[in-house]
Amino acid sequence: MKQIAENLWLLQYPLSVLGTQHGRNVTVIRLRSGKTILHSMAPFPPADVGAIQALGKLGWLVEAMLLHDTYAKEGRAAFPGVPFLGPPGFSEVVKFPTQPLLPAPAEWSGEVEVFSVDGAPKLKEHLFLHVPSRTLIVADIVFNFDPNEHGWDRFFHRYIAGFKRYPGMSRIFKLCISDQEAFRASMAKVLASDFDRIIVGHGEVIESGGKALLKRALEDAGVA
């Protein structure tokens, strides 16, 4: 577990997709109340379960898009009885009850904001803003892999997934945007918020300049 900022921690796990290394980033947010939010699930070993619980009372489990169901059942099993929040339709995907991400719980007010990414109904991604640390937490809207990757990872990411540079939007995400106007309007709200760092769902943390880099990634994909 790595502390990213005050009341913000990152855990990283392996995740292979079609033979490529994507990785899975998990973020822990601690509120002023002492309660924590666990953003993204993973196959948590007992030591990590203990480390997460040691940060404060775990109040919520979160998956922020429909395609992030890979480890949902494992996360729920590791932390039984904790409310599980997901996008509309997530319950049908994972086959267990989940609660909506919006409206966000009242206890998050002033500390965590949630933005829906509209115009891509097959994904229904939601972005999280940890206000005190000016950190945007995303799932798949952009990836930030090592630009020096090689072999099958590089070939797949560059020529199949369609990443021109990092951070970048995948070809799949772009193809899922069916309403460009709604997408741009929702992203305008995100870009108008105050953030500098971005924790991506897959790849390396963007420690600074995140807003400009997110805008560039959208422009590269032709969806800005």
| Domains of the chain: total | 1
In a domain, residue 96? The reply is no
Q: Which domain holds residue 210?
A: 2-91+109-220
Tokens standing for 162? 């369609």
Q: Please state, in angstroms and as integers, the Cα–Cα distance from residue 90 to each residue in 63, 68, 84, 125, 195, following that order.
A: 9, 9, 10, 11, 27
In a domain, residue 164? The reply is yes
In a domain, residue 147? The reply is yes
pLDDT tens digits, 44-92:
999 999 999 999 999 999 999 999 999 999 999 999 999 999 999 999 9
In a domain, residue 27? The reply is yes
Per-residue pLDDT of the chain (224 residues; tens, 9 = 90+): 999 999 999 999 987 776 777 789 999 999 999 999 999 999 999 999 999 999 999 999 999 999 999 999 999 999 999 999 999 999 999 999 999 999 999 999 999 999 999 999 999 999 999 999 999 999 999 999 877 776 767 777 676 777 888 999 999 999 999 999 999 999 999 999 999 999 999 999 999 999 999 999 999 999 98
Peptide bond into 103 cis (omega under 30): yes
* Beta carbons within 10 angstroms of residue 213's beta carbon: 18
In a domain, residue 102? The reply is no
Residue 111: what pLDDT?
A: 98
Please state, in angstroms and rounded to a whole number, the distance separating the CA atoms of residues 171 and 152: 17
CA nearest 37: which of 26, 22, 48? 26
Residue 159: what pLDDT?
A: 64
In a domain, residue 120? The reply is yes
Residues 6+ apart with CB under 8 A from 200: 25, 138, 142, 143, 144, 167, 206
Please state, in angstroms and rounded to a whole number, the distance separating the CA atoms of residues 73 and 215: 34
In a domain, residue 82? The reply is yes
Entry pTM: 0.93
Q: Read off the CATH number of the domain in which 190 is found.
A: 3.60.15.10
Instruction: State the Cα angle at 11 between 197 and 45, rounded to 5°.
Output: 165
Please state, in angstroms and rounded to a whole number, the distance separating the CA atoms of residues 72 and 174: 24
